[in-house]
Amino acid sequence: MLFARPGAGKSTQAALLARHLGVTHLSTGAVLRDEVASGSALGQLIAPVLERGDLVADELVVPVVARRLQAAAGAGGYVLDGFPRDLAQDTALAAQFPGAAQPQVAVLLDVPAEECRRRLLARAAVEGRNDDTPQTIDHRLALFDTDLLPVIERYEQRGILVRVDGEADRQVVTERILARLATP
């Protein structure tokens, strides 16, 4: 699993890693945005939540992730991107997946908040994601500190957290991650 502030390059690295390792890339943000784009009832329900940069309710996210993660684990493995987002989701993950489907390593892609903010504002000008407004960016960055840092500490205590400096070209960052995965 991959942890990072929004804007750190988490999804980019997750996609590259999944391709390199030959496993499924499971991005909860992408799954949720696809749901919105499809216009489904669930999509209509979660669209305003995504736009605010808030977390989608666990009872909606967990079953979707659980289904896909189970399938991916059965098909050789996964890179999990965007889940868990807080301690409750982490607990749900542990409860639903005994043994083999449990994550083997947690990578923290470390990029300071100011650099993330700068990258997200630059991306907003290009991609126009409607949660990349200055106010929503600050809110999402704050949620990383309040909700995700405790999860990261949990993985650190478990001894499976790997910290990688994410302030470099994307190719360099991928190489750094792969090097750290090769030498625990």
Nearest residue to 29 (alpha-carbon basis) of 1, 65, 59, 63: 65
Chain positions 131 to 170 lying near ligand ADP, rule: CB under 6 A, are 131, 140
Residue 138 or 156: the one with the smaller Cβ distance to ligand ADP is 138
Draw the binding track, 31-50, toward ligand ADP (x: CB under 6 A; -: no contact).
-x----------------xx
SS3 184: coil
How many residues bind ligand ADP, per CB under 6 A? Answer: 18
Query: Minimum distance from CB of 177 to ligand ADP (Å)?
Result: 17
Residue 41 or 182: the one with the smaller Cβ distance to ligand ADP is 41
Instruction: Round to the nearest angstrom and report the end-to-end CA distance of the chain.
Output: 15
DSSP 66-128: HHHHHHHHHTT-EEEES---SHHHHHHHHHH--GGGS-S-EEEEE--HHHHHHHHHHHHHHH-
Out of 9, 18, 36, 89, the residue judged to bind ligand ADP by CB under 6 A? 89
In angstroms, rounded to a whole number, what is the distance separating the alpha carbons of residues 77 and 106? 14
103 near ligand ADP, rule: CB under 6 A:
no
Query: Minimum distance from CB of 44 to ligand ADP (Å)?
Result: 15
SS3 159: coil
Residue 108 or 131: the one with the smaller Cβ distance to ligand ADP is 131
Query: Minimum distance from CB of 61 to ligand ADP (Å)?
Result: 4
Sheet holding 2-4, edge to edge: 24-27, 78-81, 2-4, 106-110, 161-165
DSSP β-ladder status, 2-4 and 106-110: parallel
Residue 83 or 155: the one with the smaller Cβ distance to ligand ADP is 83
53 near ligand ADP, rule: CB under 6 A:
yes
- Residues at the interface with ligand ADP (CB under 6 A): 6, 10, 28-29, 32, 49-50, 53-56, 61, 82-83, 85, 89, 131, 140
